[in-house]
Structure 1
Amino acid sequence: MILDFAKLFTLQCALLSKSMDFNYELNLNVIFIDVPSIQMGYEGFNWFSEQENNIKMIETFDQSFNMVQGMHRTRAVFQGFSRDNIVVYYERDMYSKAHIVNIMEQLQQDYLKNNVRLRLYFGTSKPGQTLQSLIDSYWKLKPKDITFSGSIEAIVDYELNYLFEMFRQWRVKQEVKKHFGFTSKNIMEFKNEFLELLKMPPKKDFFVYLWADDCPKCKEVYQFYNDLADNLKDVSSVHVAQTDMTASIFWGIWPYGLPYCRFYVHTITNNFEYVYEQYTIEAYLKFLKKKSTNFSKYLIDQKKRKAFPPTLEQIERDWHVRHCVNLEKNPKMLMDHLRYWNPDYESIVELVVQEEKYRKSDGYNIYVTDTYEGITLGQPFFRIVRKTSGNNVGVILVGQPLASQDKRDNFLMLAKSGQMIMGIQSYRNYPHFSRWEDDSDSSIQSLRERWQKEYFKNFAGWLHNMDEPHKHWNSQLPRLNFAESDLQFSMVKAFWPDNFNASDPKIYDLALTHTGNTSWHMDVKNWTLATKCIDKMLESGKYTFKLLGRKPPEEYEDKFPYIEFAPFKEFLGYVGQAEILLITSMSDASPRILTQALALNVAVILNKHIYGGKKYINEQTGSLIETEDDLFEAIEDIKRRRREGILQPRKWFEQYSELIHQKLEVFTEMIRKEQGWDLDINGYREDITTMI
């Protein structure tokens, strides 16, 4: 950790600057540390360098710290810490401090014109410490792919100027900003110089998270403070901020461990207290409730809004603010208006998701709604949540017919509670009636009933899987071609973070997935076609295969391997053992196992007549078949494409999934705004008070 490194040398005060110089775009701290010798012999470090003039490396390392035997004494070695600090090592008897000060003073004049303040420090390695031991104290913690390190030929003006310019370019790279930054747009940044003044913005309370470079414990709670900032974004008088304390450690004014969190309350000036609560949103909100009058006032205001929502008269009075606008003078609102005439939102969502605020967002996800206010729900109710935090966003999806009275009662309860209701195709051919499905599934019968259509009138929009939705929907409700199967890349990645290929090389030519062995499962998964394919493969003996999800009937006993049931991660492992996954289903909305296989780099052979999922099949991912007679040709064609480098299931699906969670967010928030759910008296307002 950086604090351990700082203990190995003695630091002097800053030169060329004052502690309250925090108004510059960059305060660049340059720490010159003298060491007994700059030569290190054959010791090397597995470390990457950005510097083009440091091409010499130890031959035994592909990447090193660019140290070579007999390196000239005039050279100096440098290392960046965080985005504001550079340590420069030089040989003790080679350069005087006066020489370095003179150069830095000259450079300072030029850099001030560019809104950059140079801070000069001198340090000396403590007795017994060498360049080797100093570097050893921190190099293992450095991220080798983005570190800023290397050496310069000499401590002269043009070499230092080059070094500083390279550092300024490095610190604004996206991967560097991402590594040292915070993802939430709601978290503020305080310079450590500003923090030392204890003069916080008036009338506001602040959580300030203190962290430093090379601090593993700091990284562990980054996401918590991102989530905390997002949860408090509507509380205008309470903010979350972060401060990089790396420079303070170098100054010698922060000799403590990290991370810490300070709380500054506006009622007490020039003071703060440390927060030692658990890293949960609930714990920090309870802390605020005790300590912050600003937050208490916010809670009171929220209760008043709930007790006194806008009246009908107020809504009627203010409706023109949104609706009475000259669209000819507002192209964006004209585009929004035209969307009402085109219920298919794929193109407009594709455009809007490119906006910066959505590209930076984590997006939304879909979960089954287990309970709501103590009432057990489960299928057919899903909820849309924030992908990272899992917080509800006030939207319920209905994915099956409301065939029983308790499901209809729960639907009405959710609607009355102010949830925005949308439909999602996730069960057979729902919401469309199919005579064939009706014969084997009693719940399908309700789709013919008038009362079921009355419930559909409460839906704000649809997520569907149909190739030609205009032939199946006579409604102008907004709709998006989107399924739960679209969201499976991040799910698979969570279970296989280090190795997407569950088995490489593959063990089987083909895996056949057929979960469940009831008559209902056999209808939905099309066991008839599955057995014909099995018979064909057994007869030829040409391909190896495994059945996943059920025990085969007696006539197939001991003829091929199978697995009945396995935990999700283990099941993915079995899928990954095959080169190809065969899905014979027809009465299936869009099987998640299809895209889970693609994420594992497994090609898919899919029934041509399946209701949903054909959009995933192309030259890079698999093939469609109609009968068992098409199977062998499809297998051979897939094997050929894989050999030729054409077939790349995971690569295709990863690109497809790049902004998929954000697309769900865009569509949801479009519907919310267009239908007034953000203003309606029962509409959605993200309410953190329910978490306390």
Structure 2
Amino acid sequence: MFVLDTAGGSTGWVVIHAPIQSPARIAQYSQFCRRGFSFLGMTSFLNFPALDEPSTLDYTAICQGWAHCFRDPDRLLPAGVPRMLLSLSDFIDPAQITPHRYPAPADPAERFDFVYVGAHEPWKMLAKNWPLAARCLPRLCGEMGLRGLMIGQRPQRVPALPGLVVRPWLPYPDWLRILGASRFLFVPNELDASPRVLAEALCLNTPLLVNHSLLGGWKYVAPTTGVFFESEHDVVDRAWHLYRGSYRPRPFFLSQYGPQRAGRRLRILLNRIDPSLPARSSLRLGYSLDG
């Protein structure tokens, strides 16, 4: 991704937010190097830049700074390099994702107590912590009697539970309407660095029930947005806590995140590396130099 100025022009910076593995991405990286771009790391893929498999690239040497999601960045990022707690999901625009734009579905069958975004690819199932979800869902649906929706998985691969609806996919607008109408978003994820769905839920004023071990996105959980849980042993208690509480997720997101606030923080981080950037501008991210 390119770091762009407010007019959509190049700042000379490119964000690396995942391992560069495919031939096309390797060729693109080589082209950026030849054109003189500088590189900023952003932690948006599992525990990147830590890698379980060998890589020909040393991302800690390539990237001059890091926008990260970690509670303990010293454990996963190089020492002495500028860094900031800043995630790709911070740039989600709450002016585009609003309860007014995505009202609750008219059909009561499309309204759920909670929603959970799963996956069927092995690496995504790891990030979304399907083993923990599989232990918690029977308690949420069975013991509490809640009605839940799981998307992203094939129904035949999920054990049947009373009250749990499983769908492999939903059109994005339909998903946002259902998310906004739900009592809470269930997030058992662990190795998930930048879960966009948490920010979407906050924009739609939907509270969060989040695994305390979540790698990234933990910062979105505050007294006004939701609660953490530790395991299947306390998930029911914490879910009841959500039901009894009063939450204001959207005002929290508006006060802390969004493209303007995240863009200013990105500019502050890059100014520590490159003082030539305009000190009062807000930056943004894009996939092309014309915005």
Normalising by structure 1, we get a TM-score of: 0.37
After superposition, the Cα gap between the structure-2 partners of 1:502 and 1:384, relative to the gap in structure 1 and judged at 3 Å, is farther
Q: Residue 652 of structure 1: SS of its match in structure 2?
A: helix
2:137 to 534, 557, 566: 534
Q: What is the Cα deviation at residue 468 of structure 1?
A: 2.0
Q: What is the Cα deviation at residue 407 of structure 1?
A: 3.1
1:653 to 250, 253, 269: 253
CA–CA separation in structure 2 for the residues paired with 1:507 and 1:497 = 14
CA–CA separation in structure 2 for the residues paired with 1:474 and 1:421 = 15
CA–CA separation in structure 2 for the residues paired with 1:665 and 1:467 = 22
CA distances 1:569-619 after superposition (whole Å, capped 9, x unpaired):
222112112110001111111201011101100011111112111111121
* Counterpart residue number, 1:493: 95
CA–CA separation in structure 2 for the residues paired with 1:465 and 1:405 = 28
Q: Which has the higher contact order (CA 8 A, sep 6+)?
A: 2
1:549 to 129, 140, 152: 152
* Counterpart residue number, 1:517: 120
Q: What is the Cα deviation at residue 404 of structure 1?
A: 4.4
- Length, aligned pairs only: 275
CA–CA separation in structure 1 for the residues paired with 2:252 and 2:127 = 28
CA–CA separation in structure 2 for the residues paired with 1:565 and 1:650 = 25
Q: What one-letter code is carried by the residue in structure 2 that aligns with 1:533?
A: C
After superposition, the Cα gap between the structure-2 partners of 1:458 and 1:538, relative to the gap in structure 1 and judged at 3 Å, is closer
Q: What is the Cα deviation at residue 558 of structure 1?
A: 7.8
Which protein has the larger Cα radius of gyration, Structure 1 or Structure 2?
1
Normalising by structure 2, we get a TM-score of: 0.83
Does residue 477 of structure 1 match 2:81?
A: yes
CA distances 1:158-199 after superposition (whole Å, capped 9, x unpaired):
xxxxxxxxxxxxxxxxxxxxxxxxxxxxxxxxxxxxxxxxxx
* Counterpart residue number, 2:4: 385
Q: What one-letter code is carried by the residue in structure 2 that aligns with 1:539?
A: G
Does residue 671 of structure 1 match 2:273?
A: yes
Does residue 417 of structure 1 match 2:17?
A: no
CA distances 1:284-326 after superposition (whole Å, capped 9, x unpaired):
xxxxxxxxxxxxxxxxxxxxxxxxxxxxxxxxxxxxxxxxxxx
Q: What is the Cα deviation at residue 555 of structure 1?
A: 3.2
**Unaligned ranges ≥5, structure 1:** 1-381, 434-443, 679-689
Q: What is the Cα deviation at residue 541 of structure 1?
A: 5.1
Q: How does 1:555-570 map to 2 (within 5 A)?
A: 555-556=159-160, 560-570=164-174
* Counterpart residue number, 2:49: 431
Q: How does 1:27-176 map to 2 (within 5 A)?
A: none
C-alpha contact (below 8 Å) 1:501/1:576 kept by paired residues: yes
C-alpha contact (below 8 Å) 1:601/1:649 kept by paired residues: yes
2:20 to 392, 402, 411: 402
CA–CA separation in structure 1 for the residues paired with 2:158 and 2:243 = 32
Q: Residue 629 of structure 1: SS of its match in structure 2?
A: coil
After superposition, the Cα gap between the structure-2 partners of 1:405 and 1:475, relative to the gap in structure 1 and judged at 3 Å, is farther
Q: What one-letter code is carried by the residue in structure 1 that aligns with 2:17?
A: G
- Give identity over the alignment, percent: 23
Q: What is the Cα deviation at residue 518 of structure 1?
A: 2.4
After superposition, the Cα gap between the structure-2 partners of 1:602 and 1:554, relative to the gap in structure 1 and judged at 3 Å, is closer
1:458 to 62, 71, 77: 62
After superposition, the Cα gap between the structure-2 partners of 1:507 and 1:663, relative to the gap in structure 1 and judged at 3 Å, is same
C-alpha contact (below 8 Å) 1:495/1:569 kept by paired residues: no
Q: Residue 556 of structure 1: SS of its match in structure 2?
A: coil
CA distances 1:347-397 after superposition (whole Å, capped 9, x unpaired):
xxxxxxxxxxxxxxxxxxxxxxxxxxxxxxxxxxx222245x444333211
* Counterpart residue number, 2:71: 467
C-alpha contact (below 8 Å) 2:271/2:277 kept by paired residues: no
Q: What is the Cα deviation at residue 539 of structure 1?
A: 2.6
C-alpha contact (below 8 Å) 1:500/1:599 kept by paired residues: no
After superposition, the Cα gap between the structure-2 partners of 1:485 and 1:581, relative to the gap in structure 1 and judged at 3 Å, is same
Does residue 599 of structure 1 match 2:203?
A: yes
Q: What one-letter code is carried by the residue in structure 2 that aligns with 1:535?
A: P
Q: What is the Cα deviation at residue 462 of structure 1?
A: 0.8
CA RMSD of aligned residues (A): 2.8
After superposition, the Cα gap between the structure-2 partners of 1:560 and 1:396, relative to the gap in structure 1 and judged at 3 Å, is same
